Amino acid sequence: MSKAERCVRGLEEKLSELEGDGVSVMSGRRLYLNGHKGIIELSSECIEVGLRRGKLSIRGSDLALQAMNDRELIITGRIGSAEWE
């Protein structure tokens, strides 16, 4: 399990309790988020996503927004960490 996957595992519980939404990381290369409120910051090293309460900051390298609709998004790249604030 990658460092990003371990970090996100704890976030999954917090977000599901606070937001009723879901987040998961696959192989440290793809992050899926259900229940976002839009993109706050977007660069190849940091993507910040608005949530109903706070934001989710994803840091790493070669980050990109692969897909997004009004509820779900997929971020790809080398995910180093994810923090809920």
Nearest to 46 by CA among 56, 31, 58, 28: 58
Across the chain, which has 85 residues, the per-10-residue mean pLDDT values are 64 54 78 92 96 88 96 92 82
pLDDT at residue 80 in the model:
84
CA–CA gap between residue 80 and residue 60 (Å, rounded)? 4
DSSP state letters, 29-65: TEEEEES---EEEE-SSEEEEE-SSSEEEEEEEEEEE
Whole-number CA gyration radius for the chain: 11
pTM, full prediction: 0.78
